A and B are shown apart, each in its own frame.
Chain A
Amino acid sequence: MNVAVRTGTVHALVGENGAGKSTLMKILYGMQRPDEGTISIDGTQGDFHTPADAIAVGIGMVHQHFMLADNLTVLENVVLGDEPRGGGGIDFKAARAKIKDISARYGLGVDPDRLVDELGVGERQRVEILKVLFRGARILILDEPTAVLVPQEVDELFGNLRELKAEGLTILFISHKLDEVLSVADDITVMRRGTTVASVAPGDVTARQLAELMVGSALPVPELRESTVTDTPVLEAEGLTVTSPDGRTVLEGMSVTINAGEVLGIAGVEGNGQAELVEALMGIRPLQAGRIALRGEDITKLSTRKRRDAGIGYIPEDRHRQGVLLEATLWENRILGHQTKAPSVRGLLLNRSGARADTQRIVDEYDVRTPNIDVLAGSLSGGNQQKLIVGREMSGNPVLLIASHPTRGVDVGAQAAIWEQIRKARAEQLAVLLISADLDELIGMSDSLAVILRGRLVASYDPKAVTPEELGSAMTGAGDGEES
């Protein structure tokens, strides 16, 4: 694979999960060695054994997951590992001045004396950028920097990137959010399955064309075919109230009903009770009040395991935290959450051959890209981990699927596959609770839509008639949807 990046530009690298973006980036940053091939910086060939070698030639990396110590100040975080010496100790004065200088020069607006703990996500990211600039980076690699940001923060970030570019720095921007790439990049390189398939200029392509280059085929759209909604209620939750450990009410008297063959979409700005709703339904979080019934049977008092046994599938929002065991093999991960059900177990014993055979089925049916089922889940790309989770949660014929951001961080190809599986299961009378931050997905995939705000369902919409803008304003509390 080949890539050429011009000095003083923002170069975007796009591709599906598992296309090799992360691997390329790790090679550039010296975390991994290429089997063949060379890297040249300003014409001189580099040979990176460790990230320190890469830093020495001016390559800096901003990771997707921040690597900051919360209990230290910005200043301390920035100098950590690269402390300027002076007078027998760390020369904080010089460091502070340098940080202020960098911050002012590139318009980062970072105060060196604040505690990282107090900073918001966008500010933390600017601290990360400052960290690499402090080490003298001239080339910045940003790994999916917008994945954690809200729209306003994304705009701010892009403003920062333009300033950095104006100062002659080079930025390698890795993403799969195509509209963002189009708005900020000067050049775009598209990767697919480990090779470069196209180099384009943002003016020459539309987001759709770019996406099609990434997948190598026409793009999927989230949409449901004819309605399969029945009037048999599968999930009936009434008056769910949840309080957080610090005593705040995070879910207040929420009632939700989902019928067989229905997808109920929940729209809302993150942190308005979605996570609590999901965990309350799964029995992970205790209920203050309320009642939950699955197919007419009261499951309010049942444990998570019993609820899963009763036929609830669960796609958690944070797959690394709740969805997979990163240091276990794929077939062991197939058992996770299904420890009581065939084909993974036989009585009190594990059924290894059964679990392995079924893992292979999931890998084939859901196009999980992996050399075999004995690799550790942590060595797969995020999208492929997600496909494995979806495949796992769909097995054993669940009656209700709780899907939190089922396609978050997943490339378009995998997204289409996951949507298709949800559609198929819906046609077979699966009830789905869909929570997503992607409004197009919500509108396209739901039979009915509700908006969650401060722990309550404040409005409901007909997905056929609503626009993303209307939903958006209802999510922030400014909307005027019909009261539910």
Chain B
Amino acid sequence: MGRISLRSVGLGLAAPVGALVFALLVCGVILSITGHQPFDVAEDMIGSLERPRTVANSLNSATTYYLSAVAVAIGFKMRLFNIGVDGQYRLAAMLAAALAGASFMESLPSVLRILMTILAAMLVGAIWSGIAGFLKVTRGVSEVISTIMLNAIATALVAFLLNPDRLAVTVAGSNNIGTAPITEGGQVPGIPYSGSSSDVFGLIVLAAVVGVAYWFMLNRTRFGFDLKATGESESAAVASGVNVKKMVLASMLLSGAVAGLVGMPQLLGASHSYSLDFPAGLGFTGIAIALLGRNHPIGMAFAAFLWGALDQTSNVLDLSGVPKEIVVIMQGVIVLSVVIAYELVRRYKLRLEQRDVGRALGTTKTPEEVQA
């Protein structure tokens, strides 16, 4: 038993580690061709990771990436592609920010304010993804198409609402506009990181809770079983009594609710207002991380941190004149190669197991069978 689980862990790591090594090689080659020293670049990046500030910032990026990845993974487990995490979190963050910054909230206790903000974000995210789920269930519209379109609509809607006539105010001393700033009672304090000028988002705890809840839902609950079964074989799930339409709707709502959380660490921990420069595109990063982390709660945590660290350490490259884009190339190569690597490992594993089964059965002969 111990041997087998060791083997499965080894096989589980083989694909991401292999993809990472391959991506490093590709980037090394590209750097050499463009006249840079790959080892110097690597040294610079690793060196910058020794600075506490870079680590704190990496953790902060990882927090948002992780939430985004979980939102995507919930869909992936059902073979649903929620491409719309991006629009879901932006709309959710904006509306939640408007609520959190509203003047009537100031009289409420801090915990209640924060909870209300977070719940509002989840609700908005769920409604936005729910539209896609509803269309799929009732009209058979592909969720890929509808979520992409909803992303565009969300962009327009945010632009419409983020206007001084409606939900926005001009940010003092700049051309920027944003929702009314959230006063201190509505903010989530950061966790100081020794030696770093920037704190770690307090809502990193929320990401951890979401990760545990995701794991628990998938592995310990009936709902999670139905979800995985539908993803593995819809026809078998139907025969077992799963109502696939209900599952599609439920998982889209759940995915959207988690997507609503994506903007929260940044909003409540740093920006305190949804303005024009609020980070965008996190939903797409989530897709990459869910792929790299194989929809696994722990795998995605590592993937999210890797992504965050790559982003943050790339800042030093400007100093040495190396284009930062090399990191984007690396991230792209990792995702592409990991998808292939996972499939290879999956097939290899299946073959190994079939051989094990064969061997185990071949050696269970009873005496009378041998003499027959």
Contact with B along A12-33 (1 / 0, CB 8 A): 0000001010010000000010
Q: Which of B223, B232, B355 contacts A327 (CB 8 A)?
A: B232
Q: A449 to B96: give the CA distance in the assembly, Å.
A: 66
Contact B236 A321 (CB under 8 A): yes
Contact A193 B369 (CB under 8 A): yes
The segment from A49-57, A238-246, A335-343 found at the interface with B is A335-343
Q: Which of B229, B235, B357 contacts A375 (CB 8 A)?
A: B357
Question: Could you list some 22 contacts between A and B, CB below 8 A?
Answer: A23-B354, A32-B351, A192-B372, A193-B362, A194-B361, A194-B365, A195-B365, A306-B241, A316-B239, A321-B236, A322-B239, A323-B239, A325-B236, A339-B225, A340-B241, A349-B221, A350-B219, A370-B357, A371-B357, A375-B357, A379-B353, A380-B357
Q: A345 to B236: give the CA distance in the assembly, Å.
A: 19
- Knowing A193-B362, A376-B350, the reply to whether A350 touches B225 (Cβ < 8 A) is yes
> Hey, which chain A residues are within 8 Å of B220, CB to CB?
349-350, 352
Contact A323 B221 (CB under 8 A): no
Q: A411 to B8: give the CA distance in the assembly, Å.
A: 32
- Given A35-B359, A339-B222, A350-B225, 7 new contacts (CB under 8 A): A193-B361, A284-B239, A322-B239, A336-B229, A339-B226, A370-B361, A371-B360
Q: A20 to B361: give the CA distance in the assembly, Å.
A: 9
Any B CB within 8 A of the CB of A197:
yes
Contact B241 A339 (CB under 8 A): yes
Interface residues of A in 108-159 (CB under 8 A from B): none
Q: Which of B236, B361, B365 contacts A371 (CB 8 A)?
A: B361
Q: A307 to B355: give the CA distance in the assembly, Å.
A: 39
- Knowing A194-B362, A339-B241, A378-B350, the reply to whether A321 touches B357 (Cβ < 8 A) is no
Contact A192 B241 (CB under 8 A): no
Any A CB within 8 A of the CB of B356:
yes
Contact B238 A284 (CB under 8 A): yes
Contact B225 A335 (CB under 8 A): yes
- Knowing A336-B236, A339-B222, A349-B221, the reply to whether A303 touches B241 (Cβ < 8 A) is yes
- Interface residue count on the A side (C-beta < 8 Å): 51
Interface residues of A in 301-357 (CB under 8 A from B): 303-309, 314, 316, 321-328, 332, 335-340, 345, 348-350, 352
Contact with A along B274-317 (1 / 0, CB 8 A): 00000000000000000000000000000000000000000000
B106: shortest Cβ distance to chain A, in Å? 39
Q: A352 to B355: give the CA distance in the assembly, Å.
A: 26
> Hey, which chain B residues are within 8 Å of A326, CB to CB?
232-233
> Hey, which chain A residues are within 8 Å of B353, CB to CB?
375-376, 379
Contact with A along B14-25 (1 / 0, CB 8 A): 000000000000
Closest B residue to A284 by beta carbon equals B238
Contact B240 A337 (CB under 8 A): yes
B232: shortest Cβ distance to chain A, in Å? 5
Any A CB within 8 A of the CB of B364:
yes
- Knowing A336-B240, A349-B221, A371-B356, the reply to whether A321 touches B361 (Cβ < 8 A) is no
Q: Which of A303, A321, A340, A371 has the most CB of B within 10 A?
A: A371
A366: shortest Cβ distance to chain B, in Å? 15
Contact with A along B175-216 (1 / 0, CB 8 A): 000000000000000000000000000000000000000000
Q: Which of A308, A325, A379 contacts B350 (CB 8 A)?
A: A379
- Knowing A325-B233, A379-B354, the reply to whether A337 touches B225 (Cβ < 8 A) is no
Q: How many A-B residue pairs have CB under 8 A?
A: 121
> Hey, which chain A residues are within 8 Å of B233, CB to CB?
321, 325-326
Any B CB within 8 A of the CB of A369:
yes
Q: A192 to B4: give the CA distance in the assembly, Å.
A: 27
Q: A282 to B350: give the CA distance in the assembly, Å.
A: 32
Contact with A along B341-372 (1 / 0, CB 8 A): 00000000011011111111110110011001
Q: A336 to B365: give the CA distance in the assembly, Å.
A: 31
- Knowing A303-B241, A335-B225, A380-B357, the reply to whether A325 touches B362 (Cβ < 8 A) is no
Q: Which of A305, A339, A340 has the most CB of B within 10 A?
A: A339
A481: shortest Cβ distance to chain B, in Å? 32
Any A CB within 8 A of the CB of B242:
yes
Q: A483 to B355: give the CA distance in the assembly, Å.
A: 53
Residues of A within 8 A of B (CB): 18, 20, 23, 32, 35, 192-195, 197, 216, 282, 284, 303-309, 314, 316, 321-328, 332, 335-340, 345, 348-350, 352, 369-371, 374-376, 378-380
Any A CB within 8 A of the CB of B243:
yes
> Hey, which chain B residues are within 8 Å of A324, CB to CB?
236
Closest B residue to A348 by beta carbon equals B222
Closest A residue to B364 by beta carbon equals A193
Q: Which of B4, B229, B359 has the most CB of A within 10 A?
A: B229
Q: A349 to B365: give the CA distance in the assembly, Å.
A: 39
Q: A335 to B229: give the CA distance in the assembly, Å.
A: 10
Q: Which of A305, A325, A376 has the most CB of B within 10 A?
A: A325
Q: Which of A193, A325, A380 contacts B232 (CB 8 A)?
A: A325
> Hey, which chain B residues are within 8 Å of A379, CB to CB?
350, 353-354, 356-357
Q: Which of B219, B243, B360, B369 contacts A305 (CB 8 A)?
A: B243
Closest 8 CB pairs of A and B: A305-B241, A371-B360, A194-B362, A337-B240, A322-B239, A304-B241, A379-B354, A379-B353
Contact A348 B239 (CB under 8 A): no
A248: shortest Cβ distance to chain B, in Å? 21
> Hey, which chain B residues are within 8 Å of A337, CB to CB?
239-241
> Hey, which chain A residues are within 8 Å of B243, CB to CB?
303-305
Q: A323 to B235: give the CA distance in the assembly, Å.
A: 9
Q: A282 to B235: give the CA distance in the assembly, Å.
A: 13
Closest A residue to B243 by beta carbon equals A303
Q: A306 to B233: give the CA distance in the assembly, Å.
A: 20
Q: Which of B223, B235, B359 contacts A321 (CB 8 A)?
A: B235
B179: shortest Cβ distance to chain A, in Å? 38
Q: A324 to B351: give the CA distance in the assembly, Å.
A: 19
Q: A371 to B226: give the CA distance in the assembly, Å.
A: 26
> Hey, which chain A residues are within 8 Å of B350, CB to CB?
376, 378-379
- Knowing A349-B221, A350-B225, the reply to whether A304 touches B239 (Cβ < 8 A) is yes
> Hey, which chain A residues are within 8 Å of B354, CB to CB?
23, 32, 379
Q: A371 to B357: give the CA distance in the assembly, Å.
A: 6
Q: A376 to B350: give the CA distance in the assembly, Å.
A: 8
